[in-house]
């Protein structure tokens, strides 16, 4: 089971979520894909994903998280002993998203909300100082205009890493990595 966690102000309607969903459906793996709509409050987002994790045998679950979803995937992978694929992950959202305090709007659902200090405090509480590298596959592009890819390279330094020169925060090369993602998740061979 692949559980895809979208990024900040995104949704299951995001480009990568839809590309992955179509890819899996075309190969008869649609029942092995889930992408929950994550609430904007971090602790609620974690609870939503934990409810999905609980529906499946732990050893069958692989998280795949993009940006803020990568941050959540890290927390959940460590907490529940899961594998995780991280796509240009946020490493310190409690620092990086401080500049966005105030009115927010989801890019897909158009839901409006206020990003507050409480969001930052919740992210800080979820931030782990170290990780067990064997459980991760990191996909990063050096041209990420939103996050400093070097933070992810450092935090996941002992994990399997695919670092692509150029690109952007959306991981422009994402479709070509899907076979590797499915292999890592134990769903197919690359």
Nearest alpha-carbon partner for 133 in 111, 113, 160: 160
Q: Is residue 135 part of a domain?
A: yes
Question: Is residue 16 a contact partner of residue 174, using CB atoms and an 8 Å limit?
Answer: yes
Q: Is residue 190 part of a domain?
A: no
pLDDT, tens digit (0-9, with 9 covering 90-100), for 143-156: 888 888 999 999 99
Q: Is residue 189 part of a domain?
A: no
Per the listing, tokens 């070097």 go with: 150
d(CA 34, CA 3) in angstroms, rounded, equals: 5
Q: Is residue 112 part of a domain?
A: yes
Indicate if the pLDDT at residue 168 is higher than 90: no
On whether the pTM is more than 0.75, the answer is yes
Q: Is residue 42 part of a domain?
A: yes
H-only helix segments in 10-108: 15-26, 42-53, 68-80, 93-96
CATH number of 19's domain:
3.40.50.1820
Indicate if the pLDDT at residue 118 is higher than 80: yes
Q: Which domain holds residue 112?
A: 2-184
Q: Is residue 18 part of a domain?
A: yes
Indicate if the pLDDT at residue 142 is higher than 50: yes
What proportion of the chain, given as a percentage, has pLDDT over 70?
99
Indicate if the pLDDT at residue 120 is higher than 70: yes
Number of domains within the chain: 1
Q: Is residue 99 part of a domain?
A: yes
166: how many CB neighbours lie within 10 A of its CB?
A: 10
């Amino acid at each position: 089971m692949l559980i895809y966690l979208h990024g900040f102000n995104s949704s299951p309607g995001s480009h990568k979520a839809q590309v992955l969903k179509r890819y899996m459906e075309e190969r008869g793996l649609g029942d092995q894909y889930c992408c929950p709509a994550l609430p904007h409050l971090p602790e609620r987002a974690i609870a939503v994903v934990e409810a999905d994790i609980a529906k499946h045998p732990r050893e069958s679950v692989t998280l795949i998280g993009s940006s803020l979803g990568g941050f959540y995937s890290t927390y959940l992978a460590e907490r529940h002993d899961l594998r995780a694929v991280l796509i240009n992950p946020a490493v310190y959202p409690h620092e990086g998203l401080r500049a966005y305090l105030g009115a927010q709007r989801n890019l897909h659902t158009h839901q409006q909300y206020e990003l507050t200090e409480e969001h930052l405090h919740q992210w800080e509480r979820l931030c782990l100082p170290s990780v067990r590298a064997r459980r991760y596959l990191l996909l990063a592009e050096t041209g990420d205009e939103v996050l400093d890819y070097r933070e992810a390279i450092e935090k996941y330094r002992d994990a399997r890493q695919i670092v692509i020169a150029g690109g952007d925060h959306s991981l422009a090369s994402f479709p070509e990595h899907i076979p590797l993602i499915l292999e890592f998740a134990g769903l197919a061979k690359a």
